Structure 1
Amino acid sequence: MTTDGVGGADGPRGATGGSEGGVSGHDGGLGELGTARALRLIAGREIVTRVRSRAFQVMTALFVVAIAAAVLVLSAVSGGSSSSSSTVAVTAADGRQATAIVAAGRSLGEEVRVRTVTDVADGRQAVLDGDVDALVRTGAAGGGYQVTVKKDLSDTLTSVLTVAARQAALEAQIAGLGGDPATVGRAVVTAGVDVTALHAKREVDGPRLLLGLLSGGLIYLSLMIFGPAVTQGVVEEKSSRVVELLLAVVRPWQLMAGKVVGIGAVALGQLALIGVVGVGLGLATGQLGIPAGLAVGSVAMALLWYLVGFSMYALLFAAAGALVSRQEDAAGVTPPIIAAIIIPYVVGISVLPASPDSGLVLTLAMIPLFAPVLMPMVIGIGSVAVWQVVVALVAALALTGLLVWLAGRVYGNAVKRSGTRVALRDALRAA
């Protein structure tokens, strides 16, 4: 893949032709153009090759369709459930029952509208015309309601009117005993319990929890897809001996860095597209239920952490790929790296829904290799302080700088060695 990119621009074709002048000419060309040109050529070829890949296109389309479908389905389901409401009619003589019926509906989480009609005849006609679901009158035995419906009364409205009727019966009894129903009602409403929590538990904000978990989940999936792709690309070039031609015109660290930058750019673009579609539809349909600025900020922070995380993991995957010469051997060097991606994701989705302020998660989120998956989760939920984010970011950037040197040394010393697997100790010690 990278071979064509360098070949297409400065091309190692002179080298493949076997002429000394061809190789030195390319070497001199890159020397004049500098490191920036070499990185641009290698990264550019990685980007073009992967974006044109049918597998990448299909995978991106499936991700976008899946996230869009999930948001739209949730919107349709919630929209259908929230649109259910009832309308009842009361006569002018029973107008004071309107407040009790609406309050009863609110207490049960149902929307009930009350329409006042002139008399019983008007109410009955409204029921027959379908303008209201029921006509409600006082005067039933025991102080309850007389309800007139066209065919039947829904279970929901039955529950609401039962609560309101019991309140009306209670008020009638209080009035019969010489008391003031309004005074008693206020006393009942204001009565409650005063709770003192020694270890207060923060309420979980559903939309923010969902946003945080989705951010971490998408980063996890992308790292699991594009991280091993770096190893695969390195092993392909090494097993085909193309890397030897490339290293005749570029330095090892330039080849490694160009591959990481190219694949990282493609992965970041895909993740940004999914994030824009998901958050855009979530805000448009009202499913996120949080301010647009907060949603956009969470996505921006997630992309920043993905960029940092991919840099760290891609360097590790590139160094691991340089240690082996066959694809089947790659499975023996990548499991520790993959485990470092899986562990924080599993901990996050297991602990955060029940305990968004978990000390375990916050502690793990400060560890550089775990932070790219966990930090977007806790940032989305809002359970992390700014200073913790800054400290974790500084630590992750410091580790990335160390990995640039460490992985570059391993890659440079091992990528030219074919045959058996190169021991990590030997790759670090080689001159």
Structure 2
Amino acid sequence: MSAQIPETSRLRGLMLVAGREIRVRGLAKSNIISLIVTVVIVGVLAALPTIIGGGDDEDAKIGLTGATAPAMQAQLEAMGGFDITVYDSAADAEKAVADEDVEAAVADGALYSRDGVANDVETQIDSAWQAASVQTNLANAGLSDQEIAGALTVQPLEFVTLESGGASGPLDYFTGLIISIIMFMMLMTPVQYIAMGVVEEKSSRIVEILLTSLKPWQLLGGKVIGLGVISLVNLVAMVAVGLGVTAATGMLGDLPPGTASAAVSTIGWWLIALVLFGTLAGGVGSLVSRQEEAGSVLTPLIMSLTLSYLGAIFLLNAPTSTFAKVLSIVPPFSAIAMPTRMAVADVPAWQIALAIGLLVVAAAGALALGAQLYKRSVLYTGSRLKLKEALRRAA
């Protein structure tokens, strides 16, 4: 009667393989350089709005004169970002521009400047001029301050969406786009590494030595866990740098309200999807003995990932369409499509629950299939095994 292996020994073997993958792959120079380059790019992209708008923090110095000066000063001060100086005459205001005491001046219905002003500043000054002119004209017509205030008070437009669940704005669209790209990249990389690692160990016959002290499921599971940890660290680093730079530049408040919850939810979807695609990658990788053949067995997985990504991009423009709803529920497409859809639309809770349930079931099935393929094929050497042949082989 064979002795039963303690559960702690099984887990220890699993963690040893995972630790080996982290040391070999995670601490490799190529991965570290790639991570540094990626976080730098993310940081630059997060700071790009501030870089492009650099120098806008300093108030624009504007000179005013004439009958509309008091009303216009009130308008510009309400807008913010202006340092106002009121002059006694148009000549004084024009001289201040020439002497570079102010960037521009409004006098006699004209905007004076040395070599022009920025478009946004020009737009604000023109808006303030028109509002101040109306206010001054109403005062000259004999209206009281209360009557003028009533005449100038306009109720803002009420935004009514006839069909709920549509994308609420450009930031939501951008958030969904970033989520789909990150999900695609963070799944594609470990899937390829898992398959290549299996083929490498098989072709060098190292796997035969490892299997003398480890079970096949420990080798495959440890590889998926190890590469998953590396990808998760990379993902957390990108998110941390992106949010950190955004907060440092004061742009964090401009992000959509659900950005944080969408990011946390994305990690959960990614973990389930990694189990699904990662175990299948290890299983199909064991069907071949050479790196040159790895691409052929990985093609179905790469195609399904690519179609999931393209489908997610499509639903960004039509998140409430029937196609988008189906795509975000049916696995494996839901792994990328549902978190993307959640970022741009209000998704019913039952659809999210159904998508999670189906994806978990699919991941469990993929885990069973991948483990069986690996167990039956990893010691086989020679030409590529077909899927049916591998499943018929004795375990």
- Give your verdict on TM over 0.5: yes
- CA shift in 2, pair 1:383/1:246, >3 Å: same
Determine whether 1:404 maps to 2:386.
no
Aligned residue runs from structure 1 range 22-421, under 5 A: 34-80=9-55, 85=60, 87-90=62-65, 94-98=68-72, 102=76, 114-117=84-87, 123=93, 127=97, 130-137=100-107, 145=109, 149=112, 151=114, 154=117, 156=119, 190=154, 199=163, 202=166, 204-290=168-254, 294-352=258-316, 354-421=317-384
Deviations 1:59-84 (A, max 9, x none): 11111111112222332113446767
Match of 1:366, SS state, is coil
**Following the alignment from structure 1 to structure 2, what is the Cα–Cα distance between the partners of residues 273 and 412?**
35
- CA shift in 2, pair 1:374/1:181, >3 Å: farther
- Whichever of the two has the greater Rg, that structure is 1
Letter in structure 2 aligned against 1:364: L
Shift in Å, 1:30:
6.5
**Following the alignment from structure 2 to structure 1, what is the Cα–Cα distance between the partners of residues 321 and 252?**
23
Report the count of equivalent residues. Answer: 391
Match of 2:65, SS state, is strand
Check whether the contact 2:64–2:105 (CA below 8 A) recurs between aligned residues: yes
Q: Structure 1, unaligned stretches of length 5 or more?
A: 1-26, 139-144
- CA shift in 2, pair 1:66/1:419, >3 Å: same
- CA shift in 2, pair 1:284/1:172, >3 Å: closer
- CA shift in 2, pair 1:72/1:248, >3 Å: same
- CA shift in 2, pair 1:201/1:184, >3 Å: farther
Residue of structure 2 in register with 1:13 after alignment? none
How large is the RMSD of aligned CA atoms in angstroms?
3.8
Moved more, 203-212 or 266-275: 203-212
- CA shift in 2, pair 1:287/1:374, >3 Å: farther
Deviations 1:202-225 (A, max 9, x none): 463333332332222122112222
- CA shift in 2, pair 1:231/1:194, >3 Å: closer
Letter in structure 1 aligned against 2:250: G
Q: Structure 2, unaligned stretches of length 5 or more?
A: none
Residue of structure 2 in register with 1:425 after alignment? 388
**Following the alignment from structure 1 to structure 2, what is the Cα–Cα distance between the partners of residues 243 and 158?**
70
Check whether the contact 1:357–1:383 (CA below 8 A) recurs between aligned residues: no
Shift in Å, 1:316:
0.9
Residue of structure 2 in register with 1:11 after alignment? none
**Following the alignment from structure 1 to structure 2, what is the Cα–Cα distance between the partners of residues 57 and 196?**
49
Deviations 1:293-331 (A, max 9, x none): 844433222222221111111011011111111111112
Check whether the contact 2:319–2:325 (CA below 8 A) recurs between aligned residues: no
Residue of structure 2 in register with 1:8 after alignment? none
Match of 2:240, SS state, is helix
Check whether the contact 1:171–1:181 (CA below 8 A) recurs between aligned residues: no
* Sequence identity (%): 27
